[in-house]
Amino acid sequence: MDNILWFDIESSDLPVHTAKIVTISFIFNGKEKTLYINPGKPIAYGASKVNGIWDKDVKDWKPFSFYAKLIFEICEKAEFYGGYNCRNFDIPLLSIELLRCGYEMPIKPVIDVYEQAQSLFKSLKLSDIYRTLTKTELEAHVSINDIKGTILINDIMKKYLE
């Protein structure tokens, strides 16, 4: 299915209403892009331990506002949004970040591979499902790897569910 905007976000912390985006990766119509963003606030130690991005790494990166118009325009072009647990985390966080910059994220149908996996797998960790289906390891919490893994899981599950 074309015209799905697949994306994954690594953030400064949790919960979604206080977090800021640190990286966001998109795959859309065969093209991929990763944006590196200075969150404008300290990255929580726990987040850095998971995603490997530390305060020293982001000091020269541009703020989200620098990319907001571009991200909004990409969202407008998509027919669907896709990701892993994106309905609960990535979409709300991106929506909040866009609103802070004066853009309202367009509402689109969502393909959330996490929701599809809930009835099929014991562990819902992206890396565990990836390992189960591909017999290889996923270098998780790198946004571009996470979204590529999500797309592959979606494609494999679609084959079995058809």
Instruction: Supply the pLDDT for residue 146.
Output: 98
What does the alpha-carbon distance between residue 128 and residue 131 come to, in Å, rounded to a whole number? 5
76-96: burial string, b at 16+ Cβ within 10 Å, e else: eebeebbbbbbeebbbbbbbb
Instruction: Supply the pLDDT for residue 119.
Output: 87
Indicate the burial class of 72 (C-beta count within 10 angstroms; 0-12, 13-18, 19 or more).
middle
Report whether 2 contacts 27 (CB < 8 A): no
Instruction: Supply the pLDDT for residue 2.
Output: 73
Per-domain residue ranges for the chain?
Answer: 4-161
Which residues have C-beta within 8 Å of that of residue 118, sequence separation ≥ 6? 124
6-33: burial string, b at 16+ Cβ within 10 Å, e else: bbbbbbbbeebeebbbbbbbbbbeeeee
Instruction: Count CA atoms closer than 13 A to 57's CA, side-chain side.
Output: 12
What does the alpha-carbon distance between residue 39 and residue 97 come to, in Å, rounded to a whole number? 10
Instruction: Supply the pLDDT for residue 105.
Output: 98
Residue-level pLDDT, tens digit, the chain, 162 residues: 579 999 999 999 999 999 999 999 999 999 999 999 999 999 999 999 999 999 999 999 999 999 999 999 999 999 999 999 999 999 999 999 999 999 999 999 999 999 999 988 999 999 999 999 999 999 999 999 999 999 999 999 988 877
Query: How, if at all, do strands 80-83 and 4-11 pair?
Result: parallel
Instruction: Supply the pLDDT for residue 1.
Output: 57
Instruction: Supply the pLDDT for residue 58.
Output: 98
Which candidate, 131, 74, 142, places its Cα nearest to that of 108? Answer: 74
Instruction: Supply the pLDDT for residue 162.
Output: 74
Topology (CATH) of 4-161: Nucleotidyltransferase; domain 5 (3.30.420)
For residue 115, give the amino acid letter.
E
Instruction: Supply the pLDDT for residue 161.
Output: 76
Global confidence as pTM:
0.95
Instruction: Supply the pLDDT for residue 160.
Output: 82
